[in-house]
Amino acid sequence: MKNVDLQMILDNLQDGVYFVDATRTITYWNRSAERLTGFGAAEVTGRACHDNVLCHVNEAGECLCKTLCPLAKTLQDGECREAGVYLHHKQGHRVPVNMRVAPVRGPAGDILGAVETFNCDSDKHALLQRVEELEKLAMLDALTGLPNRRYLEIRLQQKLDEFGRYRWPIAVLVADLDHLKTINDQFGHKTGDLALRAAGQTLAHACRNVDTVGRWGGDEFVALLANCPAEELPAIGERLRVAVASSAVRLQPNPIPLSMSIGLTSASPVDTAESLLMRADNALYAAKADGRNRAAVANRP
């Protein structure tokens, strides 16, 4: 098969595909890789993946590109691997992907490089479908692409009604993007908008597809966490905090790091939507008073 035929096939795959040589220098980058990451082939070809091009991180927010990532391990031992990681999109938000790595061998069996394929985590496709439905109902925030306040208010009341009937646990998270005013003042409101979009999308991707994450207004976001026991809130808050803290706005020459202050609480039988949001909001202000980039939990009455 001619090389041009092979390239045409690779460029029409739904999965992102890229090749690296033995030094982990990217030698090929297909069209789906461009679509999934926002980076064009010209921007990444010839660069080493350990230059932190995609900034792969794990669930804990730990950078994999500077350590022995799955691709580097495959180049070392020749074993195929599969892993779930997060990559950074060119626009700054994290994207959950399933990645598969296989060695590329020469005629003598020596490892010449590796090929990695990746696609969006299938669990997140339900979120994309839900976003399309929300768009039809005009319940999306235009800036972030997330559900807006109107939808969150409706959904919260539905969840509280279910809690009253079936006792299905519901928790609320309220989060503020830290230092948005400083970003606006130093870099302009367009960059501030990019920061809001990146932080909101990262928060949404880090939650489960059964949760609802939206923009409440300004720099504030709200997440409705379904079937979430109260004792799990500290760990959840910390995981989401780390997710946002490992994202950034890619502004040259230096990226702008992002962080959120987070308040969480779970519903009690006596709660209304107003009392639940107020308690989560009080926890948020406690997190901000403690220095920002914190997650605080308010106990239910």
Q: Read off the tokens for 21.
A: 């040589």
Instruction: Give the list of residues 6+ apart from residue 237 with CB closer than 8 angstroms, or none.
Output: 173, 262, 264, 295, 296, 297
Phi, psi of 171 (to 5 degrees): -125, 155
According to CATH, the topology of domain 124-297 is: Alpha-Beta Plaits (3.30.70)
- Domain residue extents for the chain: 3-120, 124-297
Looking at residue 156, what is its pLDDT?
97
Closest by alpha carbon to 119, among 152, 154, 159, 84? 84
**How far is it, in rounded angstroms, from Cα 148 to Cα 196?**
14
Burial (CB < 10 A; 0-12, 13-18, 19+), residue 94, is: buried
In whole angstroms, what separates CA 129 from the centre of its chain? 17
- The three-point CA angle 128-88-256 to 5° equals 115
For 94-145, how does the pLDDT look when each residue is reduced to its tens digit (9 = 90+)? 888 888 999 999 998 899 999 999 987 655 556 666 666 666 667 889 899 9
pLDDT in tens, the chain (301 residues): 445 567 778 878 888 999 999 999 999 999 999 998 999 999 999 998 767 677 888 777 777 876 768 888 999 999 999 988 888 888 888 888 888 999 999 998 899 999 999 987 655 556 666 666 666 667 889 899 999 999 999 999 999 999 998 889 999 999 999 999 999 999 999 999 999 999 999 999 999 989 999 999 999 999 999 999 999 999 999 999 999 999 999 887 889 999 999 999 999 999 999 999 999 999 999 999 999 999 999 998 8
Looking at residue 1, what is its pLDDT?
42
- pTM score over 0.85: no
β strands within 125-195, DSSP E? 170-177
- CATH 3.30.450.20 given to domain 3-120: yes
Looking at residue 279, what is its pLDDT?
98
**How far is it, in rounded angstroms, from Cα 211 to Cα 25?**
39
Tally of CB atoms within 10 A around 292: 13
**Can you tell me which residue has the tokens 């692409």?**
145
